[in-house]
Structure 1
Amino acid sequence: MEPRISGFDYRRVEVAEGVRLNVAVGGSGSPIVLLHGFPQTHLMWRHVAADLAADHTVICPDLRGYGASDKPADTDGTAYAKRTMAADVVALARALGHDRFALAGHDRGALVAIRAGLDHPGVVTHLASLDVLPTLDMWEVMHGTTAAVGFHLYLMAQPPGLPEQLIGAAPDAFFGHFLDIWARDPEAIPADVRAAYLRASREAVTSIVADYRASAIIDVEHDRVDQAAGNRLRMPVSVLQQDWGAVLGFDAAALWREWATDLDHTPVTCGHFMAEEAPAEVVKALRFLLTR
């Protein structure tokens, strides 16, 4: 049996024509949506979600293309645009009875959250981003040998065919590589959860690649339009980030200040999977965000 978030109800919710998301819902009170990263599912929020559910309605979906959610074909390059995925999140919350909600995302989920905040400022009341830069900045800061840490970004940005074939030939090795090297505390991801992550990713190679490919093409275009227009995140924004800016040679907080008018930027001492490695710090940051 697949692991679940204890005490949460599970359902499938239609968010677009032919697209249903697998979602875990728990608690009561003001709503907060939690979006997972790569190569994970909604399970990455299991500790944080259980704590927040004491006084919030907590909504934890698998993003389209991930986990047990639907994986539509990307026929025109827009199916996995963060704009499309952000619209999924707004439709999901609305289907569950929430016209406005707080939103937190990690990694890929943070990119969706950022796009939701830019596209739907009247809907997203508070926004939290865990360990990622906005898409446009992510591409612009990577250069030279330090860009080797993002080799997967370049691989999955290639035209359809080769990336899917290479990753599909050894999916557990590929996805497991990131679970291994990005976790400072390997015990934070127990064996049953790791197996669930690998199983879900193995079944979603094509859609995961499409998600990453979108970030190299259409997502960059959308960010450039917003940047040129001066469009910013107007809600309170909290960013939790590993202190990797010094290593890679850029000031992450300064980059974020260009996108958020009300920013709290906090370095966290842990690995990339901070909701699993440092859940108490994440909960503290989210609870503080919700009071702003």
Structure 2
Amino acid sequence: MTEFAIPEFAYDRIHGPDGVALNVAHAGVGPAVVLLHGFPQTHLMWNAVARDLARDFTVIAPDLRGYGDSDKPDADSVDVYSKRTMAADVVATASQLGHERFAVVGHDRGALVAVRAGLDHPDRVSHIGVLDVLPTLDTWDVLRGVDAKVAWHLYLMAQPQGLPEKMIAAVAEEFFSSFLDAWDPSGATFSPELRDHYIKASVAAVPSIVADYRATASVDLDMDRADRDAGRALTMPVAAISQDWGSQLGFDPTQIWSAWAPDFTFESIDAGHFMAEERPGAVANFARKLLARGQVSWSGVTLE
């Protein structure tokens, strides 16, 4: 396990359906909430939010497969890092910790996994919270013209296996550092030690991180199209919180998300992309408001 850990959280290695083991932090008592991190980070991005929520919920915070201290299987198939496969990891993790029904709150990449979990396992996922991302299909639709340069890394990592990995590995520290710097307008969100942890963890995971992104430009996109064509939607309460990057690219996040989730609410936040660390109190409150919506029975506990 990494020298970094969420204080007072237990850690376990939990195996998914295909044998891939996740590094999982967990603590608390009550209905379960799974927190899924984004790029280029690990479960430690949830440190303050996880400790806040653990006062009232069972909090489960894994490193996604291919990230942090979780296994990084070879991407011999695009399905190895599909969001369907990663969602199955989440369901298996919650089950092995004794939770058949759970909420999922995800940031960035983790939010895409949360959405796929909700679409594939609606009987297991009670609520979905989304931090600063759009559904896969809509992300590609809104990236047009020169404004799409903000997502240049999506196009790089969508290329066939081989060249992107070599290009990123050649300047890996600079590559991952560039996102931590560009997406943190305050410049004060991360301690030097935590920033170094994120960079080192990402440098050690170049092939699997690229495979995760490559899946989003292929098999994940196909899954979203199939669901949209079939009229499938997220049946549970869904909420999103985001900075104002919709105006830059000319889209309305509420309109986009409402097409996938009839029971949807949106909240804007004055923060950068790494909002869970920049403004953890606001993100924890966002999660609590979501989890209070509806009358939902989780593992025998009824919330109103």
The TM-score with structure 1 as length reference comes to: 0.99
Aligned residue for 2:220?
219
Q: Secondary structure at the match of 1:75?
A: coil
Aligned residue for 1:79?
80
- 1:253-278: CA deviation from partner (whole Å, max 9, x where unpaired): 11111011100111111000010011
Q: Indicate conservation of the 8 Å contact 1:3/1:192, yes or no.
A: no
The runs of 4+ residues in structure 1 deviating greater than 3 Å are none
- 1:220-249: CA deviation from partner (whole Å, max 9, x where unpaired): 000000000110011000100111111111
1:184 deviation in Å?
2.0
Q: Secondary structure at the match of 2:78?
A: coil
| Structure 1 segment 1-292 matched on structure 2, within 5 A | 2-292=3-293
Instruction: Give the root-mean-square deviation of aligned CA atoms.
Output: 0.8
Q: What CA distance in whole angstroms lies between the structure 2 residues aligned with 1:116 and 1:285?
A: 20
1:74 deviation in Å?
1.3
Q: What CA distance in whole angstroms lies between the structure 1 residues aligned with 2:150 and 2:39?
A: 15
Q: What CA distance in whole angstroms lies between the structure 2 residues aligned with 1:66 and 1:134?
A: 21
Q: Indicate conservation of the 8 Å contact 1:2/1:196, yes or no.
A: no
Q: Secondary structure at the match of 1:172?
A: helix
1:287 deviation in Å?
0.5
- 1:193-220: CA deviation from partner (whole Å, max 9, x where unpaired): 1111111101100000000000000000
Q: Which amino acid aligns with 1:88?
A: D
Moved more, 211-220 or 183-192: 183-192
Q: What CA distance in whole angstroms lies between the structure 1 residues aligned with 2:231 and 2:130?
A: 20
Q: What CA distance in whole angstroms lies between the structure 1 residues aligned with 2:212 and 2:99?
A: 26
1:16 deviation in Å?
2.6
Q: What CA distance in whole angstroms lies between the structure 2 residues aligned with 1:260 and 1:36?
A: 21
1:17 deviation in Å?
3.0
The percentage of counterpart residues that share the same residue type is 57
The TM-score with structure 2 as length reference comes to: 0.95
Q: What CA distance in whole angstroms lies between the structure 1 residues aligned with 2:19 and 2:240?
A: 33
Structure 2 stretches of 5 or more lacking a match? Answer: 294-304
- 1:101-139: CA deviation from partner (whole Å, max 9, x where unpaired): 010000000000000011100100011000000000000
Q: Which amino acid aligns with 1:261?
A: P
- 1:53-87: CA deviation from partner (whole Å, max 9, x where unpaired): 11111000000000000011111210000000000
Q: What CA distance in whole angstroms lies between the structure 1 residues aligned with 2:115 and 2:205?
A: 23
1:144 deviation in Å?
0.3
- 1:19-57: CA deviation from partner (whole Å, max 9, x where unpaired): 100010111111100000000000000010000011111
1:192 deviation in Å?
1.2
Q: What CA distance in whole angstroms lies between the structure 2 residues aligned with 1:278 and 1:255?
A: 25
Q: What CA distance in whole angstroms lies between the structure 2 residues aligned with 1:34 and 1:184?
A: 24
Q: Secondary structure at the match of 1:224?
A: helix
Q: Indicate conservation of the 8 Å contact 1:131/1:241, yes or no.
A: yes
Q: What CA distance in whole angstroms lies between the structure 2 residues aligned with 1:194 and 1:23?
A: 20
Structure 1 stretches of 5 or more lacking a match? Answer: none
Q: Which amino acid aligns with 2:128?
A: L
Q: What CA distance in whole angstroms lies between the structure 2 residues aligned with 1:262 and 1:131?
A: 18
Equivalenced residues, count: 292
Q: Indicate conservation of the 8 Å contact 1:52/1:58, yes or no.
A: yes
